[in-house]
Homo-oligomer: A and B are copies of this chain.
Amino acid sequence: MHIDSFMHEAIGEAKKGLSEGGIPIGSVLVRDGKIISRGRNRRVQEQNPMKHAEIDCLVNAGRIGSYRDTILYSTLIPCYLCAGAVVQFNIPKVIVGEARTFHGAEKFMREHSVEVVNLNLMECIEMMGRFIRENPELWNEDIGM
């Protein structure tokens, strides 16, 4: 599968979250060219403030041992919680749909030698931008503002 196909799957997770009344952020974890887990933000669905998309995806992956040959995809640049997971578990590469509606912890990841690729996709920017405009309180809660 191509990089765009993996991001397409992450976007699908984000849309699924939105349809459930959740925050539209999706994530997939890839190893050896295959998706090994999927996740989406479930703060609202599970009333769980730690269930950011990337954390949900890493929970769903289970105890996979080393993450050194994995790539984490997310429709939005990871916040410090999710970037902390990336750094702690030595995920070497993160590919994001966008970092415009939220700046996240990009610098922190780069400082810890994580390769961050920003696809800067209008589809992700518009999806997240619309959600933030329409649900500012929910979004601020999600990022601890």
Q: A interface vs B, CB < 8 Å?
A: 43, 47-50, 55, 58-59, 61-65, 67, 79-85, 87-90, 105, 108, 112, 141, 143-144
Are A143 and B88 in contact, with the CB atoms below 8 A?
A: yes
Q: How far is the CB of A5 from chain B (nearest CB, A)?
A: 26
Known: A80-B112, A89-B144, A108-B108. 17 other contacts (CB 8 A): A47-B62, A48-B59, A49-B58, A49-B89, A50-B55, A50-B58, A50-B59, A63-B141, A67-B144, A79-B88, A80-B85, A80-B87, A81-B84, A81-B88, A82-B84, A84-B88, A88-B143
Distance to closest chain B CB from A3 (angstroms): 24
B90-A85 in contact (CB<8A) = no
B residues near A144, Cβ cutoff 8 Å: 67, 88-90
Complex A-B: 29 CB contacts under 8 Å: A43-B63, A47-B63, A48-B59, A49-B59, A49-B61, A49-B62, A49-B63, A49-B64, A50-B50, A50-B55, A50-B59, A50-B85, A65-B141, A67-B144, A79-B84, A80-B84, A80-B87, A80-B112, A81-B84, A81-B85, A81-B88, A83-B84, A84-B87, A84-B88, A84-B105, A88-B143, A88-B144, A89-B144, A108-B108
